[in-house]
Every structure is written in C-alpha cells, then in structure tokens.
Amino acid sequence: MNSIDPRHRGEPDEARLRITEIFYSLQGESNTMGFPTVFVRLTGCPLRCGYCDTAYAFKGGEWLSRAEVLKRVMDLGAHHVTVTGGEPLAQQASLVLMSDLCDAGHLVSLETSGTLDISAVDSRVLRVVDIKTPGSGEENKNFYRNIDYLNQKDQVKFVICSEQDYLWVREIIRKYALTTRCEVLMSPAKGLQNGTALAEWILGDHLRVRFQIQLHKYLWGDTPGK
C-alpha cells in the first residue's frame, strides 16, 4: 500500500491517492441510507476483519491526483459523497481530499475502522466510526481515544457476529456513554448473526441505538461497486 508509483516520485503525499474505485450508487448504511451517493474507495487497509466484504480493496488500485478524483466525483453528479475503503485514513491525502470535497459543496461522510486517529478530519465531515467487536478478530486495534472526538453529527457502528459480541457492545455503550455522544448503529454480520435475533435483543434491552441492514446488499447482493 505504501509503494511509490514512479510517475509520482517527488510529489508530496497529500497530492495523490491510491484508489480502488469511484462509483455512483445508493448509500446502504448510516443516517444517509438511501441517498444517491458517489463512493470514493481508497486502496489498502491495516486490518483483516473476519467478515470483511471489500478484501478486493486491500491492494492494487490506481494512483490519482486529488484533482482527478474531484473531477470524477463531479462528473457523477451526486450531492452526497462517501470516502471509504479499505481504510481511507491510512492515506494521508484522504484528509485533504475530504476538505476539497466539502469546499466543492458536497455533503461528505467518512467510513473508517476506528483504529486510526480521526481528530484531524475536517469538522464538516460526518464520521462513521466502526468500532471493532471481538468477533471481527481485530478488537485489540481499537483506538478508543476517538470517542473523545465524536459529536452529535457523527455515528459509531458495531457489526455484530454473535450474542457475545452484542453483550460486549452493550457494555461499551454503557462504559463510554456512547448514546449521549452520537448516534449508535448496530448491524448483523452477514452469514454470522441472525438479524431478527439482534433486533429482539435491542428491543429487550431498550437500547437507544439504530438497527440497520446493508441496503445495497438487499438490492444488489455482493456485487462490487454497488
């Protein structure tokens, strides 16, 4: 992920990004679910979650300047833009790109694993922070200091793999008073956690969280770029 494309030797890190895909679809998650959205998927991720559905973005990709990314986004014509991955914050240029997108008048959201510092992200960006559960296999990499940076505009997401995950998440919500800081989302991990059971646990515990499923998978299955 950190190799230098010879065409860009000497350029500052913030001038270019390694991109897996830029595509137009409906947002399938978060509080902008259902809105037509341009997705900018950056290449590379330091994590290997057991349920990951974007492993194709771990490597490869195309080096683009920020100007090239902005042009492709503008050509697709959506107001909403989501910067995702992989792990977008693993590339320094993602921070400047998100500010560029906000300056251009877009409503910008960031989908991040929550294992890297979010404090430098432009305050105009809606941050969706995916805190990793034990069932992900990457719980030990959570950067809990990020919770201090959250505000009411942001969201925390938990992907639930089992009842044990759910009980762990319930304790994390209590410990950090998460529902007083921002909106909290819970999703069943596809093929691992029954959605109805998760919904019933949430109702039984009267949790102030939003249950969500991945709308794009309901519509298009596991098709990349949708």
Please give the pLDDT value at position 121. Answer: 97
Banded pLDDT at 6 (limits 50, 70, 90): very low
192 to 159, 165, 173: CA distances (angstroms): 10, 11, 22
Mean pLDDT calculated for residue range 121-127: 97
Please state, for a pLDDT cut of 70, what percent of the chain lies above it. 90
Domain membership flag for residue 117: yes
Q: Domain of 97: which CATH number?
A: 3.20.20.70
pLDDT digits (tens, 9 = 90+) for 137-190: 999 999 999 999 999 999 999 999 999 999 999 999 999 999 999 999 999 998
Domain membership flag for residue 45: yes
Enter the tokens of residue 112. Answer: 């991040």
Domain membership flag for residue 94: yes
- The helix or strand, by DSSP H or E, that contains position 20, with its residue range, turns out to be strand 16-26
**192: alpha, beta or left? (left if phi > 0; alpha if psi -120 to 50):** alpha
Please give the pLDDT value at position 220. Answer: 65
Domain count, the chain: 1
DSSP code for 139 = G
The 3-state DSSP class for residue 191 equals coil
Domain membership flag for residue 87: yes
pLDDT digits (tens, 9 = 90+) for 56-102: 999 999 999 999 999 999 999 999 999 999 999 999 999 999 999 99
Question: Which domain covers residue 158, as residue numbers?
Answer: 6-220
Domain membership flag for residue 1: no
Banded pLDDT at 216 (limits 50, 70, 90): low
Domain membership flag for residue 216: yes
Distance, in Å, from the CA atom of 11 to the CA atom of 14, rounded to the nearest integer, reads 8
Entry pTM: 0.88
Domain membership flag for residue 109: yes
The count of residues in the chain is 226
Q: Are the beta carbons of 130 and 157 closer than 8 angstroms?
A: yes
Please give the pLDDT value at position 10. Answer: 46
pLDDT digits (tens, 9 = 90+) for 58-68: 999 999 999 99
- For the ranges 18-22, 189-193, 212-216, which has the lowest average pLDDT? 212-216
Banded pLDDT at 213 (limits 50, 70, 90): confident
Domain membership flag for residue 226: no
